[in-house]
């Protein structure tokens, strides 16, 4: 027996994978083609196919990408998962409810999932899934009695946008198996990135309906430098809709913070605080490092929660769901530099793609806030989990693992493999890309120290993407001017996940980054070859135009 999470009818060729895919950064919504260079589906089209994977992974913006695919006629015919999945499910729900594009979503047992995945084609109805000789009956989601407060009921009955928001929240609560809703103290909006025009259409539709945010709300990085994009030469056909998208959220009451690192702001939550954040790296940092509590909310649901101040009580809002389900034992290579932390996050995500891990063995390895930022950003690239624990570094690492948690040991060879995966580009490069997630002021000052008074080699661009707050801090102590004098370009509001030409230097064919997240997504997003290394490696590359080789700490 399977579950019709979102019932409907569909038929098509089956496309199955044993690992998840982030639709943002992984799929071109205008064509339906997979652009994630590290995924086995790379180059495949999802359009019109029965797409099967255990769950999605990566970015919360996948909901917007799927919605855009539906509006473009390039969406899958149906989605089938073997585990819980929220991000693409929410995108499919809105495609149907707001725009009349139904897209069935099913959940199967692992056994049925494997059996269907082996078939070339499948047909879905409201009551069955048929594939070859298989016929699997489908049942609707079980109806749970949600305990609603009087205020919840009043919002549900509202004839305007608040009623729509509560309708979507209650539908997601049913999908997540929640029994009631909780108050949240703040929201972080991820849907302000112009990943597709569907994001703008949705936001302007809600703003025009009179939607207003009820709780304090910050905004993610956007797709243009809001104040300077015209001077930077960004084409109006991109700059105008990207600006309109950002403006739609500020019209609804969001604070124009424009950063993918809201945990660096003065409004960062504290341990035990219930919040509702989207943006995968921010969610993971909040849960992991700050000990705050938030599900990895899909884009669009973040707005709905902000309008009501209420979220389903599910996932890692609950104590028991924050326990590790896999233990990863690590012996850090002697002499490891700051590149270790994003590599550790990337590896941990590969080893725990659908569950929370506990990392042991790093208790004596120093880790700064920026190291943990890099860890969380890379982990969210390869895992669907909303957090991880690192003994000696994160506040809930002493929590006993869940019953049945298994145990994996990793060593130098595993990190050497990760380095090779993230270093597939040539040695000659023209761009150093820093700030995914947004560079902190401290990281920018560290770059200045590494450079000394040296300027990048001719033909090599060094670009930092960062927040308005960090720019203010760097201007205050003179670091901004010092970096600019050396030819370093500092761009606010946008990040590498959303940067476009000409802000992205058009002549650059190969780049290096110290971000595990951007090393993964960069080839698909930019069409460029990518190298990865430590901050010092990036400086060496800037000065020489050459990417350093395998670091000494990874050599036997």
Question: Strand order in 406-410's β-sheet?
Answer: 389-390, 357-360, 326-330, 406-410
Q: How far is 203 from 244, CA to CA, in rounded Å?
A: 9
Q: Please, is 34 exposed, middle or buried when counting C-beta atoms within 10 Å of its C-beta (0-12, 13-18, 19+)?
A: buried
Q: How far is 93 from 116, CA to CA, in rounded Å?
A: 23
DSSP string, 251-284: HTT-B----S-GGGSTT---TT-B-EE-SHHHHH
How, if at all, do strands 128-131 and 134-140 pair?
antiparallel
| Contact yes or no for 135/108 (Cβ under 8 A) | no
| Contact yes or no for 412/554 (Cβ under 8 A) | yes
- DSSP-based three-state secondary structure for 409: strand
Work out the number of other CB atoms within 10 angstroms of the CB of residue 30: 12
Q: Please, is 115 exposed, middle or buried when counting C-beta atoms within 10 Å of its C-beta (0-12, 13-18, 19+)?
A: middle
Q: How far is 465 from 190, CA to CA, in rounded Å?
A: 17
Q: What are phi and psi of 400, to 5 degrees?
A: -60, 140
Q: How far is 306 from 24, CA to CA, in rounded Å?
A: 22
How, if at all, do strands 389-390 and 310-312 pair?
unpaired
Which residue intervals of 383-534 are DSSP H helices?
Answer: 412-421, 441-451, 468-477, 479-485, 516-526
Residues with catalytic roles: 59
Q: Please, is 452 exposed, middle or buried when counting C-beta atoms within 10 Å of its C-beta (0-12, 13-18, 19+)?
A: exposed
Q: How far is 109 from 123, CA to CA, in rounded Å?
A: 17
Is the N-terminal amide bond of 143 cis, ω within 30° of 0? no
Q: Which residues contact 317 (CB under 8 A, 6 or more apart)?
A: 182, 274, 293, 294, 295, 311
| Contact yes or no for 412/333 (Cβ under 8 A) | yes
Q: Identify the CA nearest to 142 among candidates 318, 8, 5.
A: 5
Structure tokens that stand for 475 in this block: 């201007």
| Contact yes or no for 419/340 (Cβ under 8 A) | no
């Amino acid at each position: 027996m399977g579950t019709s999470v979102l019932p409907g009818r569909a038929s098509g060729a089956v496309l199955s994978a044993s690992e998840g895919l982030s639709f943002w950064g992984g799929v071109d919504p205008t064509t339906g083609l997979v652009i994630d260079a590290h995924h086995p589906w790379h180059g495949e089209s999802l359009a019109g196919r029965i797409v099967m994977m255990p769950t999605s992974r990566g970015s919360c913006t996948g909901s917007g990408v799927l919605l855009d695919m539906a509006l473009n006629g390039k969406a899958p015919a149906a989605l089938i998962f073997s585990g819980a999945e929220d991000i693409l499910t929410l995108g499919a729900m809105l495609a149907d409810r707001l725009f009349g594009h139904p897209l069935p979503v099913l959940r199967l047992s692992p056994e049925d999932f494997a059996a269907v995945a082996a078939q070339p084609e499948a047909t879905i109805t409201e009551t069955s899934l048929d594939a070859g000789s298989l016929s699997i009956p489908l049942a609707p989601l079980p109806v749970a009695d949600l305990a609603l407060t009087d205020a919840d009921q009043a919002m549900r009955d509202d004839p305007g946008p608040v009623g729509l928001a509560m309708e979507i929240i209650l539908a997601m609560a049913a999908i997540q198996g929640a029994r009631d809703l909780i108050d949240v103290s703040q929201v972080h909006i991820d849907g302000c990135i112009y990943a597709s025009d569907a994001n703008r259409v949705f936001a302007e539709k809600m703003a025009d309906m009179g939607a207003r945010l009820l709780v304090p709300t910050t905004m993610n990085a956007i797709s243009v430098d809001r104040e300077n994009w015209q001077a930077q030469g960004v084409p109006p056909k991109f700059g105008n809709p990207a600006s309109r998208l950002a403006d739609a959220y500020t019209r609804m009451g969001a604070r124009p913070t424009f950063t993918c690192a809201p945990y660096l702001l003065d409004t960062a939550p504290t341990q035990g605080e219930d919040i509702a954040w989207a943006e995968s790296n921010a969610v993971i940092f909040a849960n992991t490092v700050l000990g705050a509590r938030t599900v990895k909310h899909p884009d669009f649901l973040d707005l709905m929660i902000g309008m009501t101040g209420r979220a389903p009580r599910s996932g890692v809002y609950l104590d028991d769901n924050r326990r590790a389900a896999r233990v990863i034992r690590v012996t850090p290579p002697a002499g490891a530099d700051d590149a270790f932390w994003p590599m550790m996050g990337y590896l941990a995500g590969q080893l725990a793609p659908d569950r929370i891990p506990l990392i042991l063995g790093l208790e004596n390895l120093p880790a700064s806030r920026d190291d943990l930022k890099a860890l969380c950003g890379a982990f969210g690239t390869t895992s669907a989990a909303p957090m991880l624990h690192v003994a000696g570094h994160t506040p809930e690492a002493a929590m006993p693992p869940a019953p049945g948690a298994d145990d994996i040991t990793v060593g130098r060879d595993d990190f050497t493999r990760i380095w090779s995966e993230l270093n597939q580009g040539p040695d000659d490069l023209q761009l150093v890309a820093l700030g995914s997630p947004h560079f902190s002021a401290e990281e920018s000052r560290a770059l200045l120290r590494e450079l000394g008074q040296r300027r990048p080699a001719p033909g090599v661009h060094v670009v930092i993407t960062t927040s308005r707050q960090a720019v203010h801090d760097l201007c205050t102590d003179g670091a901004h001017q010092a970096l600019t004098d050396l030819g370093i370009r500092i761009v606010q509001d946008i990040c590498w996940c959303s940067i476009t030409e000409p802000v992205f230097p058009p002549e650059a064919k190969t780049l290096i980054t110290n971000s595990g997240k951007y090393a993964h997504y960069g080839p698909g997003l930019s069409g460029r070859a990518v190298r990865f290394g430590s901050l010092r490696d990036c400086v060496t590359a800037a000065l020489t135009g050459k990417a350093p080789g395998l670091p000494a700490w990874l050599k036997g």
